[in-house]
Structure 1
Amino acid sequence: MLRIWVSCLLLLQAGAALAGPWPRQEKTVFLSISTEHDRDGNSYTGLYGEYGLSARSTLGLELGHASAGEVSALLWLQRALDDGTGANRWTVSSGVGVIERDGELVPLGQVGVAWGRGLDRLPGGGWISVEARLKVTAETESVILRQGMTVVEYGYLTPEYTAKADVTLGWNATPKMMLINQLRLEDRQDMAFSAKLGASIVRDIGGPVKLELGVIAPVAGEGEYALRAGTWFAF
């Protein structure tokens, strides 16, 4: 528990990740392609997309591939609860999808809630957000019967249910660079509670493209240090 609180203090000294509680501007698109690799060779590669349906509604898509042998797809809709005025932003979301594992298709559902606010007092500006999600799938024999996998490898597979919370703080350090930290908390049905701290630099390389480089460190529960790399597109 002490290590988690220390991580929270570190989080408040740097920056954050995607500002989820802010709806995507109507008829605009955001895409992110990223990959995470740990030192044991485990990896996760994902495509994340948002499309602004209206001033208060955002449509999202997430596609993922885990080296442990899983492919996932999730389509979700996020709705703003506030009217866009004031300091605080609140959203709720729900989504449905599917997981493919060992040739077996498994339905997937997710609900979430998020809060965020801008940090105008930071030089260059920034934001803080908290996003909580509950993800549920059907029970699958392929997970129950899997043998020979380490606990870390097993953690890359989607469990029957998992509750996650991401605390994110972002800082626009320069006009072309953001510093991003994120504390990831997870409580899943088949493993003990875990916490990870991620830190990234996002650099504007021109036009609608940004590059992201970062590291992820376990601070509680099972996990390995990992490297993260990604590309962002906004248009």
Structure 2
Amino acid sequence: MMRFIALAISVVLASAQAAPAGPWLREKGKGFAALSGNITQEKDTSGAAYFEYGLRETITLGADLFYGIDRTLQQSGSGIVFMRFPISEPDATHKWAWHAGIGARSQNTVITPAVEAGLSWGRSIKIGERYGWAVIDSSLNIPGSGLETRIKLDGTVGLGFTDHVKGMAQVFMTHQGGEIFAKFAPSVLLVPGKSSYTIQIGLEIPIQGEGDTEFKLGLWRDF
């Protein structure tokens, strides 16, 4: 299974258009928004919203929101407002950036403040005549009493197939409560005409830890 995932990541991957997170900062006055919803065959559901806006050439303001409810009506949520800053030079092949943020986490009736910090790496790639990119995002999220510290490590590699059809494959890893959870998430990205919107259709498949396969539908927009 792990060999299959490694092979898939190297050949099925993301768009040349910037995706959520990563070390690339938004241009001043430019922004990005992504909305998505997930559902399993057992009707576990979740929704996420991600926003970025370039305050300055060296500062990107963002927000990362999540809410989920499972088949037993157990609920969880998180919301972080963050600022991202560059580490590498603008023309560097290997891009590095870090972010810091504050917000809250929730589990059913428990709601607590949270702080977060993270490091991102990325670079452009080329396969044949197609261009894409590779990204690794990491974060440490520390909540107040009542909830557990969360460490995340996410990987994305990308390639654009045509101007209107792109692909994306990701691996999401989370360490929380002494356990490691991992998912493999392939997606197709569709760009209608000359639209500033992108439609994401994909799956999130558990490869370690509990959980069921989720169907994902998302909408991205640059503004």
CA deviations 1:95-134 (Å, max 9, x no partner) are 1001345454310111100100001344330000111111
Q: Name 1:56's counterpart in structure 2.
A: 58
CA deviations 1:76-111 (Å, max 9, x no partner) are 011111121131100011110013454543101111
Unaligned runs of 5+ in 1: 141-158
> Match for 1:189: what amino acid?
G
Aligned-residue offset at 1:8: 2.0
Q: Name 2:2's counterpart in structure 1.
A: 4
Q: Name 2:142's counterpart in structure 1.
A: 136
11, 14, 22: which is aligned to 2:12?
14
CA distance in 1, matches of 2:148, 2:130: 42
CA distance in 2, matches of 1:134, 1:5: 28
Q: In the alignment, is residue 194 of structure 1 matched against residue 200 of structure 2?
A: no
141, 166, 173: which is aligned to 2:154?
166
Q: Are the aligned partners of 2:21 and 2:137 in contact in 1 as well (CA < 8 Å)?
A: no
CA distance in 1, matches of 2:218, 2:109: 28
Q: Name 1:152's counterpart in structure 2.
A: none
Aligned-residue offset at 1:6: 3.4
- Superposition pairs of residues 10-159 of structure 1, within 5 angstroms: 10-16=8-14, 18=20, 20-67=22-69, 68-140=74-146, 159=147
Aligned-residue offset at 1:136: 1.3
Unaligned runs of 5+ in 2: none
TM-score (norm 2): 0.89
Q: Percent identity?
A: 23
> Match for 1:221: what amino acid?
G
CA distance in 2, matches of 1:94, 1:19: 13
Q: Are the aligned partners of 2:120 and 2:137 in contact in 1 as well (CA < 8 Å)?
A: yes
Runs of 4+ with deviation above 6 angstroms: none
Q: Name 1:144's counterpart in structure 2.
A: none
Q: Are the aligned partners of 1:124 and 1:175 in contact in 2 as well (CA < 8 Å)?
A: no
CA distance in 2, matches of 1:121, 1:204: 21
CA deviations 1:197-234 (Å, max 9, x no partner) are 00011111242111110011111221210101011111
Q: Name 2:191's counterpart in structure 1.
A: 204
Q: RMSD between aligned alpha carbons?
A: 1.7
CA distance in 1, matches of 2:205, 2:120: 24
Aligned-residue offset at 1:26: 1.2
* Structure 1 residues 139 and 39, CA gap change in structure 2 (3 angstroms): farther
Q: Are the aligned partners of 1:4 and 1:220 in contact in 2 as well (CA < 8 Å)?
A: no
> Match for 1:36: what amino acid?
N
Q: Name 1:184's counterpart in structure 2.
A: 172
TM-score (norm 1): 0.85
* 1:216 alignment partner, SS class: strand
* 2:56 alignment partner, SS class: coil
213, 232, 235: which is aligned to 2:201?
213
CA distance in 2, matches of 1:139, 1:125: 45
> Match for 1:80: what amino acid?
P
